[in-house]
Amino acid sequence: MKFSPTELAETHQAMTQQASPIGAIVGALMGAVPAIAIYAFFVHMGAILYVFIMIPPAIIGLAAQFTGQVHAIKHRLAVGLIASVVHLACLYYFNYRLLYYFLVPIIFVVAVAVAKKRLSRIEQLVADMEAEGRFDQT
């Protein structure tokens, strides 16, 4: 499917106007509240599966996705950092096992991946062109 240069330019302008890195950070901080509550709930459960540890960063990422609407990786790195800090703080405060500390890179990746805005075809094309540096030439 081919798109005209004006469609690509309009889509790029709309994507840059909608994206809010500060909104993503605020959303991640708002998502940290229920994430901490889930970590507290896990303490009362006793033994937890490693898959359950992925729920709090997913909540942080979803909140950031809802408020930030960002697609660029550089804007989503702060969301992963917030999720990692919340994870480490909760592990320390609730005295989880040492093994859970090694899951920090996975927590980071989950939060960053979930925080990405879902893109349409033309938006994906514009994002790819922007990443390659070709969009500025059109």
**pLDDT tens, residue by residue, 91-111:** 899 888 888 899 999 999 999
DSSP state of 4: -
Tell me, yes or no, whether 78 and 48 share the same domain.
Answer: yes
Tell me, yes or no, whether 8 and 44 share the same domain.
Answer: no
Q: How many domains does the chain have?
A: 2
Residue 51 pLDDT class (50, 70, 90 cuts): confident
User: What global pTM score does this model have?
Assistant: 0.86
Average the pLDDT over 114-135 and give the result.
85
Q: Which domain, by its residues, includes 46?
A: 21-116
Residue 134 CA, chain-centre distance (Å), reads 26
Q: How many residues does the chain have?
A: 138
The Cα–Cα gap between 129 and 126 comes to 5
For the chain, give the mean pLDDT: 88
DSSP state of 95: T
Cα angle: 34, vertex 85, 92; to 5 degrees:
85
Tell me, yes or no, whether 90 and 126 share the same domain.
Answer: no
Tell me, yes or no, whether 77 and 45 share the same domain.
Answer: yes
Using a pLDDT cut of 70, give the percent of the chain over it: 96
Tell me, yes or no, whether 91 and 127 share the same domain.
Answer: no
Cα angle: 128, vertex 62, 40; to 5 degrees:
145
